[in-house]
């Protein structure tokens, strides 16, 4: 019997010969023939082969097709010089009508049936282990001398004919400080599943318990390790089970076919292809991926909106990369709740200012284009006004359809929880992300103040409570957009507001958001969020991560997203609508074409052009 010690340095053809002779005392091929590609194996009747190939191409993250044999061909010349698929895997599984009916060391007894069957060789993550180790990253399952952990997820693959199943993933514990290095090491190795499809809480993939893998062995995390998940070729096994073919064979998970092909390291050449990793949530823990190129574009947007035309001192409030992180989080969200409305003009009817609603509708328009659920919550007294504005925004082509309009009132201690979650169950939030843009924010004394230190609490519903409740509900993330420090979500920078903003010691909002976007005018922050979401949607690295490497790239929808972006024409029409409804400029209470005392033409219009 051969033991595991020298197997990692043996050449593939030698290993295959040893496996063929059934002389190995090991349970999996992880760490063997380092630097060479390994393959998952699926063997199906020839009548199913074309559909399975289409299924692989439609889900090429988990099922990168290395080679498809002809019926009855037991060799695979492009992958190996002297192989026999009937004998060259450590162990096989046999499936009859979707049920696993046994494990085999050899398929030779089925040689007659195999004459009408086609073998698919699919890429395997064992192939990238050398690249990961070369980056100085530990492979925990190799250290622990066990098979990799494999899990069924709640993520559906793209179905083709009878082939339909959920994605299967492998999990590798990676030290948090090396997450980006792990992504970089694997992202270009497309035939070995490429970059991870998820980093962080397994529950976000529908995995209930890491200690109970569906295939393979439990792999233990060290302190500081993050669970990182890659698409897995065992997805093909699940597809075989669900198609209920009369007879099918696969490798036994972890017992791969070892090819003669070297896993050549790929040099990442342009910024478009360099991935960055950003933490977007602590509870549940969640990281996202974006290209360096897209990240830089979004950072440029953040710089553009960060100018201080009113010379109010907002430069001291700015937090770096908040726009990027907020938009990454929104990009992952399924359902978004937006709030706006600052009744600064308490002596007028309506008391609202015109900074806020245009930015809120710009965000809503892009969320609609991205096929996310979106709703707006506002003050009960302003419902009719906002309903009219939304209806006209649809007529003007700013929104594809009306946005549901909600109001919130505190009736008891659980009101916020009941509003945010189905039946008040924190495990079932209705919204993934809350966005406040130019929304009056509660100060430390419980009052709400405009910039001139006037208490306007009587005009403001306690929507802050939703943001406070969200801090206690796993899975709801929040963003605040403001331009003076008295807006909802600005609690994160309240010390700077008190120090650098006029009347800041009184007016500073005390309620924090997870992400704080500071802009010269809050509407600009809304426009920047819409533009940043467009940039993320057109980033191939981020798109693949969002769809978990199953299905097809979403870039075919680019024109729909493009048409949802704000434009000078759209915003001009919307501002005229607000003026017609007597919604005034914040600083001057003017009913002219201005926002915060700044003229629309050559100030706001110029900012929109720069952002686009």
Q: pLDDT confidence of 26, banded at 50, 70, 90? A: low
Question: How far is Cα 462 from Cα 480, in angstroms, rounded to an integer?
Answer: 15
pLDDT digits (tens, 9 = 90+) for 67-123: 999 999 999 899 988 889 999 888 899 999 999 999 999 999 999 999 999 999 999
pLDDT beyond 60 at 3: no
Domain with CATH 3.90.1640.20 in the chain: 275-611
pLDDT of 1 higher than 50: no
Residue % of the chain over a pLDDT of 90: 82
Query: What is the pLDDT at residue 265?
Result: 53
- Read off the pLDDT band of 2 (50, 70, 90): very low
> How do residues 427-474 score in pLDDT, each as one tens digit?
999 999 999 999 999 999 999 999 999 999 999 999 999 999 999 999
CB atoms within 10 A of CB 547: 16
pLDDT of residue 58: 97
**CATH 3.30.2040.10 domain range(s) in the chain:** 18-269
Query: Mapped to the 3 state alphabet, what secondary structure does 578-603 carry?
Result: HHHCCCECCCCCCCCCEECCEEHHHH
Cβ atoms of 244 and 49 closer than 8 Å: no
When pLDDT is cut at 50, 70 and 90, the band that residue 21 belongs to is confident
Is 18-269 a domain of CATH 3.30.2040.10? yes
Q: What is the mean pLDDT of residues 349-370?
A: 97
Distance CA 2, CA 22 (A): 10
CA distances from 450 to 439, 457, 503, 518, 596 (A): 11, 10, 10, 17, 13
pLDDT tens readout for residues 366-415: 999 999 999 999 999 999 999 999 999 999 999 999 999 999 999 999 99
The mean pLDDT value of the chain amounts to 93
CA 160 to CA 308: how far, in whole Å? 54
In three-state secondary structure terms, 428 is coil
Which of the 8 DSSP states describes residue 213? -
Query: Any bridge partners for residue 289, and if so which?
Result: 277
Strand 433-439 and strand 477-482: pairing? parallel
pLDDT 10s digits, 496-533: 999 999 999 999 999 999 999 999 999 999 999 999 99
Q: Is the pLDDT confidence value at 4 over 50?
A: no
Tokens of 571: 């915003």
Pick from 525, 612, 549: which is nearest to 327 by CA?
525
User: What is the pLDDT confidence band of residue 30, given thresholds at 50, 70 and 90?
Assistant: confident
71 secondary structure, DSSP code: T
3-state SS assignment for residue 80:
coil
Phi and psi (nearest 5°) for 128?
-95, 5
388 phi/psi in degrees, rounded to 5? -65, -40
What's the CA dihedral at 35, 40, 43, 49 to 10 degrees?
Answer: -90
**Given a cut of 90, is residue 268 above it in pLDDT?**
no
Query: Would you report the helix, strand and coil content of the chain in percent, each value rounded to 5?
Result: 35, 25, 40
SS3 per residue for 484-520: CCCECEEHHHHHHHHHHCCCHHHHCECCECCEEEECC
Predicted confidence band of residue 36 (pLDDT cuts 50, 70, 90) = confident
Label residue 289 by pLDDT band (50, 70, 90): very high
**Fold for the domain defined by 275-611:** inorganic pyrophosphatase (n-terminal core) (3.90.1640)
Residue tagged 């006004």 (tokens): 385
Compute the distance between CA of residue 37 and CA of residue 27 in angstroms, rounded to an integer: 18
Phi, psi of 262 (to 5 degrees): -80, 145
């Amino acid at each position: 019997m051969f033991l595991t010690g020298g197997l990692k340095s043996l050449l593939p053809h030698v290993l295959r010969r040893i496996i063929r002779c059934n002389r190995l005392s090991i349970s999996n091929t992880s760490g063997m023939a380092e630097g060479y590609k390994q393959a998952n194996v699926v063997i199906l009747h020839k009548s199913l082969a074309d559909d399975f190939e289409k299924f692989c191409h439609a889900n090429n993250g988990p099922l990168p097709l290395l080679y498809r044999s002809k019926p009855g061909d037991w060799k695979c010349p492009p992958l190996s010089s002297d192989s026999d698929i009937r004998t060259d895997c450590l162990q096989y599984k046999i499936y009859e009508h979707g049920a696993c009916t046994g494990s085999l060391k050899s398929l030779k007894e089925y040689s007659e049936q195999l004459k009408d069957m086609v073998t698919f060789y699919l890429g395997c993550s064992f192939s990238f282990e050398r690249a990961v180790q070369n980056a100085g990253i530990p492979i925990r399952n190799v250290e622990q001398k066990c098979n990799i952990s494999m899990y069924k997820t709640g993520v559906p693959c793209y179905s083709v004919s009878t082939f339909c199943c959920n994605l299967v993933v492998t999990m590798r514990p990676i030290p948090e400080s090396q997450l980006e290095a792990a992504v970089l090491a694997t992202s270009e190795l497309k035939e070995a599943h490429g970059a991870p499809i998820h980093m962080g809480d397994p529950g976000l993939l529908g995995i209930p318990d890491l200690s109970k893998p569906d295939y393979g062995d439990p792999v233990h995390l060290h302190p500081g390790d993050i669970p990182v998940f890659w698409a897995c070729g065992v997805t093909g096994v699940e597809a075989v089970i669900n198609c209920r073919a009369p007879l099918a064979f696969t490798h036994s998970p972890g017992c791969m076919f070892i090819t003669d092909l070297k896993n050549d390291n790929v040099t990442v050449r342009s910024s478009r292809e360099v991935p960055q990793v950003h933490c977007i949530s602590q509870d549940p823990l969640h990281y996202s991926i974006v290209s360096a190129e897209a990240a830089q574009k979004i950072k440029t947007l953040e710089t553009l909106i960060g100018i201080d035309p009113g010379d109010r001192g907002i430069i001291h409030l700015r937090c770096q990369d908040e726009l990027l992180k907020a938009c990454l989080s929104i990009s992952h969200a399924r359902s978004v709740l937006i709030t706006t409305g600052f009744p600064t003009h308490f002596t007028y009817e309506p008391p609202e200012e015109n900074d806020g609603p245009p930015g809120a509708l710009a965000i809503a328009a892009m969320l609609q284009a991205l096929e996310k659920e979106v709703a707006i919550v506002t003050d009960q007294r302003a419902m009719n006004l906002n309903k009219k504005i939304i209806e006209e925004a649809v007529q003007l082509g700013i929104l594809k359809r009306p946005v549901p309009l909600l109001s919130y009132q505190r009736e008891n201690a659980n009101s916020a929880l009941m509003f945010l979650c189905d039946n008040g169950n924190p495990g079932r939030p209705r919204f993934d992300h809350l966005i406040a843009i130019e929304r009056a924010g509660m100060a430390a004394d419980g009052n709400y103040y405009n910039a001139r230190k006037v208490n306007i609490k009587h005009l403001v519903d306690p929507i802050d409570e939703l943001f406070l409740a969200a801090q206690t509900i796993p899975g709801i993330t929040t963003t605040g957009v403001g331009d003076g420090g008295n807006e909802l979500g600005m609690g994160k920078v309240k010390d700077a507001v008190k120090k650098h903003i006029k009347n800041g010691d009184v007016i500073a909002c005390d309620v924090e958001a997870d992400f704080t976007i500071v802009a010269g005018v809050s509407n600009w922050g809304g426009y920047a969020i819409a533009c940043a979401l467009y940039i993320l949607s057109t980033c191939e690295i981020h798109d693949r991560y969002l769809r978990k490497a199953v299905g097809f790239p979403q870039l075919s929808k680019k024109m729909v997203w493009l048409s949802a972006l704000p434009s000078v024409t759209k915003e001009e029409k919307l501002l005229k609508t607000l003026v017609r409804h007597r919604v005034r400029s914040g600083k001057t209470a003017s009913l002219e074409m201005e926002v915060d005392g700044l003229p629309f033409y050559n100030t706001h219009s110029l900012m929109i052009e720069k952002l686009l």
